[in-house]
Amino acid sequence: MSTLQPVETNQDPQQIKTEVKKFYGQVALSNSAAGCCDSGGCCGVDLDVKFAEDYSQLEGYVPEADLGLGCGLPTQFASIQPGETVLDLGSGAGNDAFVARRLVGETGRVIGVDFTGEMVKKARDNARRLGYDNVEFKLGDIENLPLDAESVDLIVSNCVLNLVPDKPRVFAEMYRVLKPGGRFCVSDIVLEGQMPARLRSVVSLYAGCVSGAVPKADYLDYARRVGFADLTEFRLQPMHMPQDALARYLSEAEAAELLPATFQLYSLTLGGRKPMQALQHPQLL
Protein backbone atom coordinates (compact mmCIF):
# COMPACT_ATOMS: atom_id res chain seq x y z
CA MET A 1 0.00 0.00 0.00
CA SER A 2 1.22 3.51 -0.79
CA THR A 3 2.01 5.74 2.14
CA LEU A 4 2.18 9.44 2.81
CA GLN A 5 5.51 11.13 3.29
CA PRO A 6 6.08 13.21 6.45
CA VAL A 7 5.04 16.47 4.77
CA GLU A 8 5.07 19.48 7.08
CA THR A 9 2.23 21.98 7.29
CA ASN A 10 1.27 25.08 9.23
CA GLN A 11 -2.18 23.54 9.76
CA ASP A 12 -3.45 24.97 6.47
CA PRO A 13 -6.91 23.39 6.14
CA GLN A 14 -6.75 22.95 2.39
CA GLN A 15 -3.34 21.28 2.50
CA ILE A 16 -4.55 18.93 5.22
CA LYS A 17 -7.65 18.01 3.22
CA THR A 18 -5.62 17.45 0.05
CA GLU A 19 -3.13 15.12 1.75
CA VAL A 20 -5.80 13.23 3.72
CA LYS A 21 -7.90 12.76 0.58
CA LYS A 22 -4.81 11.56 -1.31
CA PHE A 23 -4.01 8.96 1.29
CA TYR A 24 -7.52 7.57 1.67
CA GLY A 25 -7.84 7.39 -2.08
CA GLN A 26 -4.74 5.18 -2.04
CA VAL A 27 -6.27 3.02 0.71
CA ALA A 28 -9.44 2.53 -1.35
CA LEU A 29 -7.50 1.60 -4.48
CA SER A 30 -5.22 -0.80 -2.63
CA ASN A 31 -8.09 -3.26 -2.02
CA SER A 32 -6.40 -4.09 1.26
CA ALA A 33 -7.72 -4.11 4.81
CA ALA A 34 -4.59 -2.44 6.14
CA GLY A 35 -5.64 1.11 6.71
CA CYS A 36 -5.30 4.02 9.05
CA CYS A 37 -5.58 2.23 12.31
CA ASP A 38 -4.59 -1.30 11.46
CA SER A 39 -1.77 -3.12 13.23
CA GLY A 40 0.41 -2.63 10.16
CA GLY A 41 0.89 1.00 11.04
CA CYS A 42 -1.12 4.17 11.47
CA CYS A 43 -1.95 5.52 8.03
CA GLY A 44 1.33 4.37 6.57
CA VAL A 45 3.55 6.21 9.05
CA ASP A 46 4.64 3.02 10.80
CA LEU A 47 3.51 3.90 14.33
CA ASP A 48 2.43 0.32 15.07
CA VAL A 49 -0.83 1.50 16.66
CA LYS A 50 -3.96 -0.65 16.52
CA PHE A 51 -7.16 1.37 16.87
CA ALA A 52 -9.56 -0.70 14.77
CA GLU A 53 -12.26 -2.78 16.45
CA ASP A 54 -13.46 -6.26 15.43
CA TYR A 55 -16.65 -5.99 13.37
CA SER A 56 -16.76 -9.61 12.30
CA GLN A 57 -19.38 -10.68 14.87
CA LEU A 58 -21.86 -7.90 14.04
CA GLU A 59 -24.95 -8.60 11.97
CA GLY A 60 -24.73 -6.90 8.61
CA TYR A 61 -20.93 -7.04 8.55
CA VAL A 62 -19.45 -6.96 5.04
CA PRO A 63 -15.75 -8.00 5.05
CA GLU A 64 -15.05 -6.26 1.73
CA ALA A 65 -16.13 -2.95 3.28
CA ASP A 66 -13.88 -3.26 6.34
CA LEU A 67 -10.59 -1.47 5.62
CA GLY A 68 -9.50 -1.32 9.27
CA LEU A 69 -10.12 2.44 9.47
CA GLY A 70 -12.23 2.66 12.63
CA CYS A 71 -11.46 3.28 16.29
CA GLY A 72 -14.68 2.05 17.86
CA LEU A 73 -18.09 0.48 17.28
CA PRO A 74 -20.51 3.43 17.19
CA THR A 75 -23.40 1.34 15.86
CA GLN A 76 -23.15 -0.82 19.00
CA PHE A 77 -24.19 2.11 21.23
CA ALA A 78 -26.44 4.05 18.85
CA SER A 79 -29.73 2.22 19.60
CA ILE A 80 -30.56 2.09 15.90
CA GLN A 81 -34.27 1.42 15.34
CA PRO A 82 -36.15 -0.10 12.38
CA GLY A 83 -37.35 2.49 9.90
CA GLU A 84 -34.86 5.19 10.86
CA THR A 85 -32.80 7.28 8.46
CA VAL A 86 -29.13 7.01 9.49
CA LEU A 87 -26.27 9.19 8.24
CA ASP A 88 -22.70 7.85 8.32
CA LEU A 89 -20.05 10.61 8.25
CA GLY A 90 -16.86 9.57 6.47
CA SER A 91 -18.45 6.33 5.33
CA GLY A 92 -15.40 4.91 3.55
CA ALA A 93 -16.12 1.60 1.83
CA GLY A 94 -19.41 1.25 3.73
CA ASN A 95 -18.44 -0.71 6.85
CA ASP A 96 -20.63 1.07 9.42
CA ALA A 97 -23.30 1.90 6.86
CA PHE A 98 -23.92 -1.77 6.09
CA VAL A 99 -24.15 -2.66 9.78
CA ALA A 100 -26.62 0.21 10.25
CA ARG A 101 -28.62 -1.02 7.25
CA ARG A 102 -29.17 -4.37 8.92
CA LEU A 103 -30.57 -2.58 11.98
CA VAL A 104 -32.88 -0.10 10.21
CA GLY A 105 -34.33 -2.91 8.13
CA GLU A 106 -36.11 -2.68 4.79
CA THR A 107 -38.21 0.28 5.95
CA GLY A 108 -35.17 2.34 6.94
CA ARG A 109 -32.52 4.15 4.98
CA VAL A 110 -28.77 4.73 5.35
CA ILE A 111 -26.82 7.57 3.75
CA GLY A 112 -23.03 7.59 3.69
CA VAL A 113 -21.02 10.75 2.95
CA ASP A 114 -17.31 10.71 2.12
CA PHE A 115 -15.10 13.27 0.39
CA THR A 116 -12.83 10.71 -1.26
CA GLY A 117 -14.14 9.71 -4.67
CA GLU A 118 -12.36 6.35 -4.64
CA MET A 119 -14.02 5.46 -1.33
CA VAL A 120 -17.47 6.44 -2.56
CA LYS A 121 -17.02 4.31 -5.67
CA LYS A 122 -15.89 1.34 -3.57
CA ALA A 123 -18.89 1.69 -1.26
CA ARG A 124 -21.31 1.99 -4.18
CA ASP A 125 -19.78 -1.07 -5.82
CA ASN A 126 -20.19 -3.02 -2.58
CA ALA A 127 -23.85 -1.97 -2.25
CA ARG A 128 -24.57 -2.81 -5.89
CA ARG A 129 -22.95 -6.23 -5.58
CA LEU A 130 -25.01 -6.99 -2.47
CA GLY A 131 -28.24 -5.74 -4.02
CA TYR A 132 -28.89 -3.14 -1.31
CA ASP A 133 -31.32 -0.48 -2.52
CA ASN A 134 -31.81 1.43 0.76
CA VAL A 135 -28.17 2.47 1.17
CA GLU A 136 -26.88 5.53 -0.66
CA PHE A 137 -23.33 6.89 -0.78
CA LYS A 138 -22.76 10.57 -1.56
CA LEU A 139 -19.56 12.41 -2.43
CA GLY A 140 -19.31 15.42 -0.13
CA ASP A 141 -17.44 17.29 2.57
CA ILE A 142 -18.82 16.74 6.06
CA GLU A 143 -18.06 20.39 6.85
CA ASN A 144 -20.82 21.18 4.31
CA LEU A 145 -23.12 18.19 4.21
CA PRO A 146 -25.08 17.60 0.98
CA LEU A 147 -28.31 16.97 2.92
CA ASP A 148 -31.42 18.96 3.78
CA ALA A 149 -31.96 20.33 7.27
CA GLU A 150 -33.80 18.07 9.73
CA SER A 151 -33.66 15.09 7.39
CA VAL A 152 -32.04 12.29 9.45
CA ASP A 153 -32.83 10.53 12.72
CA LEU A 154 -29.33 9.43 13.67
CA ILE A 155 -25.72 10.21 12.78
CA VAL A 156 -22.87 7.73 13.25
CA SER A 157 -19.19 8.18 12.44
CA ASN A 158 -16.04 6.19 13.05
CA CYS A 159 -12.60 7.79 13.44
CA VAL A 160 -13.34 10.64 11.04
CA LEU A 161 -13.85 13.96 12.85
CA ASN A 162 -10.21 13.97 14.00
CA LEU A 163 -9.27 14.18 10.30
CA VAL A 164 -11.35 17.33 9.69
CA PRO A 165 -9.75 20.76 10.18
CA ASP A 166 -12.96 22.57 11.25
CA LYS A 167 -14.48 20.28 13.85
CA PRO A 168 -16.94 22.88 15.28
CA ARG A 169 -18.33 23.29 11.77
CA VAL A 170 -18.92 19.54 11.52
CA PHE A 171 -20.86 19.50 14.79
CA ALA A 172 -22.94 22.45 13.52
CA GLU A 173 -23.70 20.53 10.32
CA MET A 174 -24.63 17.45 12.33
CA TYR A 175 -27.03 19.59 14.34
CA ARG A 176 -28.51 21.13 11.19
CA VAL A 177 -29.36 17.86 9.42
CA LEU A 178 -30.71 16.03 12.47
CA LYS A 179 -34.42 16.11 13.13
CA PRO A 180 -35.50 17.61 16.48
CA GLY A 181 -34.99 14.82 18.99
CA GLY A 182 -32.46 13.15 16.69
CA ARG A 183 -29.19 11.88 18.05
CA PHE A 184 -25.58 11.06 17.20
CA CYS A 185 -23.08 8.40 18.21
CA VAL A 186 -19.49 8.81 17.04
CA SER A 187 -16.22 7.05 17.78
CA ASP A 188 -13.17 9.26 17.45
CA ILE A 189 -9.65 9.95 18.70
CA VAL A 190 -9.24 12.62 21.38
CA LEU A 191 -6.33 13.89 23.42
CA GLU A 192 -5.40 14.50 27.03
CA GLY A 193 -2.35 16.65 27.71
CA GLN A 194 -0.27 18.68 25.28
CA MET A 195 0.92 17.32 21.96
CA PRO A 196 4.26 18.79 20.79
CA ALA A 197 3.72 21.38 18.05
CA ARG A 198 6.28 19.61 15.87
CA LEU A 199 4.11 16.49 15.80
CA ARG A 200 1.06 18.55 14.87
CA SER A 201 2.95 19.91 11.85
CA VAL A 202 3.28 16.53 10.12
CA VAL A 203 0.44 15.93 7.67
CA SER A 204 0.98 12.18 7.59
CA LEU A 205 0.34 12.09 11.34
CA TYR A 206 -2.84 14.09 10.72
CA ALA A 207 -3.98 11.48 8.22
CA GLY A 208 -2.87 8.87 10.74
CA CYS A 209 -5.55 9.89 13.27
CA VAL A 210 -2.89 11.43 15.54
CA SER A 211 -2.10 15.11 15.08
CA GLY A 212 -5.69 16.14 14.31
CA ALA A 213 -6.90 14.97 17.72
CA VAL A 214 -8.10 17.71 20.06
CA PRO A 215 -8.45 17.65 23.85
CA LYS A 216 -11.48 15.70 24.98
CA ALA A 217 -12.82 18.73 26.87
CA ASP A 218 -12.74 20.81 23.66
CA TYR A 219 -14.40 18.02 21.69
CA LEU A 220 -17.29 17.86 24.17
CA ASP A 221 -17.51 21.66 24.18
CA TYR A 222 -17.89 21.76 20.38
CA ALA A 223 -20.96 19.53 20.72
CA ARG A 224 -22.45 21.53 23.59
CA ARG A 225 -21.95 24.91 21.92
CA VAL A 226 -24.03 24.01 18.88
CA GLY A 227 -26.84 22.85 21.16
CA PHE A 228 -26.44 19.10 21.68
CA ALA A 229 -27.76 17.78 24.99
CA ASP A 230 -27.47 14.59 27.02
CA LEU A 231 -23.85 13.98 26.02
CA THR A 232 -22.84 10.46 27.03
CA GLU A 233 -19.35 8.95 26.99
CA PHE A 234 -20.14 5.34 26.14
CA ARG A 235 -16.50 4.28 25.99
CA LEU A 236 -13.08 5.83 26.61
CA GLN A 237 -10.10 3.62 25.82
CA PRO A 238 -6.43 4.69 25.99
CA MET A 239 -4.38 4.17 22.83
CA HIS A 240 -0.71 3.32 23.21
CA MET A 241 1.60 5.58 21.19
CA PRO A 242 5.19 4.23 21.06
CA GLN A 243 7.54 7.09 21.89
CA ASP A 244 10.39 5.69 19.81
CA ALA A 245 8.20 5.88 16.70
CA LEU A 246 7.00 9.42 17.43
CA ALA A 247 10.56 10.50 18.21
CA ARG A 248 11.41 10.07 14.53
CA TYR A 249 9.48 13.27 13.90
CA LEU A 250 11.38 15.25 16.56
CA SER A 251 14.95 16.31 17.10
CA GLU A 252 16.84 14.48 19.84
CA ALA A 253 16.47 17.48 22.14
CA GLU A 254 12.74 17.81 21.40
CA ALA A 255 12.16 14.13 22.04
CA ALA A 256 13.97 14.26 25.37
CA GLU A 257 12.10 17.36 26.47
CA LEU A 258 8.62 16.89 25.06
CA LEU A 259 7.68 13.25 24.73
CA PRO A 260 7.81 11.87 28.27
CA ALA A 261 4.24 11.85 29.60
CA THR A 262 3.18 14.94 27.63
CA PHE A 263 0.04 13.55 26.04
CA GLN A 264 -2.22 10.53 25.75
CA LEU A 265 -4.58 9.58 22.94
CA TYR A 266 -7.94 7.93 23.62
CA SER A 267 -10.62 6.29 21.54
CA LEU A 268 -13.85 7.98 22.61
CA THR A 269 -17.36 6.83 21.71
CA LEU A 270 -19.67 9.77 22.36
CA GLY A 271 -23.42 10.15 22.05
CA GLY A 272 -25.71 13.15 22.19
CA ARG A 273 -29.19 14.38 21.30
CA LYS A 274 -30.66 17.38 19.48
CA PRO A 275 -33.41 18.82 21.72
CA MET A 276 -36.98 18.85 20.45
CA GLN A 277 -36.85 22.65 20.74
CA ALA A 278 -33.67 23.10 18.75
CA LEU A 279 -31.50 26.21 18.68
CA GLN A 280 -32.08 28.23 15.54
CA HIS A 281 -28.54 29.61 15.40
CA PRO A 282 -25.94 27.19 16.81
CA GLN A 283 -22.89 28.87 18.34
CA LEU A 284 -19.64 28.23 16.47
CA LEU A 285 -16.22 28.74 18.03
The per-residue pLDDT for range 159-205, each reduced to its tens digit, is 999 999 999 999 999 999 999 999 999 999 999 988 777 777 766 67
Domain assignment of residue 225, yes or no: yes
- What CA–CA distance (Å, rounded) separates 248 from 239? 19
pTM here is 0.86
Domain assignment of residue 47, yes or no: no
Q: pLDDT tens digit string along 28-62? A: 998 654 444 443 344 444 444 555 677 877 888 88
- What CA–CA distance (Å, rounded) separates 36 from 47? 10
- Residue 64, pLDDT > 70, answer yes
- Residue 4, pLDDT > 50, answer no
Q: What is the per-residue pLDDT for 282?
A: 57
Over the chain, what is the mean pLDDT?
A: 84
Question: In this predicted structure, which of 12-21, 100-109, 235-244 has the lowest mean pLDDT?
Answer: 235-244
Here the CATH number for the domain that contains residue 224 is: 3.40.50.150
What confidence category does residue 111 fall into, taking pLDDT thresholds of 50, 70 and 90? very high
What confidence category does residue 244 fall into, taking pLDDT thresholds of 50, 70 and 90? low
Q: How many domains does the chain have?
A: 1
Domain assignment of residue 162, yes or no: yes
Task: Give Rg (Cα) of the chain.
Answer: 18
Q: What is the per-residue pLDDT for 216?
A: 96
Give the residue numbers spanning the domain of 222: 70-196+213-273
Domain assignment of residue 128, yes or no: yes
Q: What is the DSSP string of 140-187?
A: --TTS-SS-TT-EEEEEEES-GGG-S-HHHHHHHHHHHEEEEEEEEEE
Domain assignment of residue 98, yes or no: yes
Domain assignment of residue 51, yes or no: no
Domain assignment of residue 19, yes or no: no
Domain assignment of residue 152, yes or no: yes
